[in-house]
Homo-oligomer: A and B are copies of this chain.
Amino acid sequence: MGEDWTARFAALEGMAPGVRDTLRARSSVATLPAGAQVFGPGRKAENLLLLLEGTVRVQQLSAEGREIVLYRIHAGESCVLTTACLLADESYSAEGIAETRAVAAMIPRAAFDDLVATSPEFRQFVFQAYARRIAELFATIEEIAFRRLDIRLAQKLLELAPAGGVLRTTHAQLAAELGSAREVISRQLGEFQRRGWVELSRGEVRLADRAALAALAATP
């Protein structure tokens, strides 16, 4: 915590010194273990999070126990959407889970409010984050409604796979990513394997032919 975390946050780069001073003075840096619930239905958070390291998965849990991944917060992004609920005193139905060890700056509600009031750049930063997330949600709705599942699965595999090309995840988790069912994902992955595009083993998917997957993912 001794170092200046505001220097590591690209979006704050160009901000007036006063903003960064306020952030440094009035916020703290927290580390969350992988798997920790960052926010959720039963949790009354009081901080805006700026994610410095790691990723946070935001997912919606349905009443019948089904779940769907809505989006991810990556390092360098803020969690404004969920914070709006806190600022507005609204309860929240979705939850955020740290997928890896995550390091985040926690900005107390009052400090956030002050920054929004005093800094035009900070306002711009906040509204830009909103705008992008909303556009992303719109795109997600369109994809779920209209895009074929094999295409979406190929996209998701490419999006989630690390450099090595070995994705450690279960078919059930992939189904939750896409709002689909486990059996359907199993069958579709089986088809991909038959074509030599992936290799399957328990708990992992190895991408064997990224180009072929990308070609499918790019079909209009």
Contact = CB atoms under 8 A, between A and B. Distances in A.
Interface of A: 60, 62-64, 66, 68, 70, 81, 84-85, 87-90, 92-94, 113, 116-118, 120, 123-124, 127-128, 130-132, 134-135, 137-142, 144-146, 179-180, 220
B70 A127 contact: no
A60 B137 CA distance: 11
Contacts of A128: 84, 87-90
B90 A131 contact: yes
A179 B146 contact: yes
B145 A90 contact: no
Nearest to A135: B93
Given A88-B131, A90-B135, A141-B144, 19 more contacts: A60-B138, A60-B141, A64-B220, A68-B145, A68-B146, A81-B134, A84-B134, A85-B131, A85-B135, A87-B123, A87-B127, A88-B127, A88-B130, A90-B131, A93-B139, A113-B123, A117-B118, A117-B123, A145-B180
Given A138-B60, A144-B145, A113 B117 contact: no
